[in-house]
Amino acid sequence: MTKNTYQKPSPQTQEASLRITKGIQRPGQTKEQSKLIAQGIQKGIELYKKQQKDKARELNRKLKKASHHKITTIESDEHELEHIIIYRQHWLPWALLVFSWIVAGVGYWAQVK
């Protein structure tokens, strides 16, 4: 069975609702009518605060979920990085390049002499 606990409106909410009620009060309006209007405004303010709290809670859930997903993505990326194979070039092309330069140098030196 659920309990329906009604919390008393905060003094700030009551004060704000009274200010708004006095601002929109019509001539000839009774105190009872003003009181009912103030209560309606209080309920509206409380409902607005509750909605904002729910939105903030949902946003926090989404942010937490997104950050958790980001952390797992980073961890999986790190796991993938461990398996990267680094290819080394074979020594033969470099040796042939050096050999060709030596042959060219010797040929040039023999021609000059």
Q: What is the pLDDT of residues 41-75, one digit of tens each?
A: 889 988 999 999 999 999 999 888 888 777 766 66
Which pLDDT score, from 0 to 100, does residue 89 have?
Answer: 82
Asked if 13 contacts 43 with a C-beta cutoff of 8 angstroms, the reply is no
pLDDT at 52: 94
DSSP three-state, residue 59: helix
- Distances in Å between the alpha carbon of 97 and those of 10, 88, 89? 86, 17, 14
Between CA 105 and CA 99 the distance in angstroms is: 10
Round to whole Å and give the CA distance between 32 and 51. Answer: 29
pLDDT of 106 > 90? The answer is yes
Domain ranges of the chain: 1-85
Q: What is the CA radius of gyration of the chain?
A: 40
What percent of the chain stands above pLDDT 90?
A: 28
pLDDT digits (tens, 9 = 90+) for 79-88: 555 666 777 7
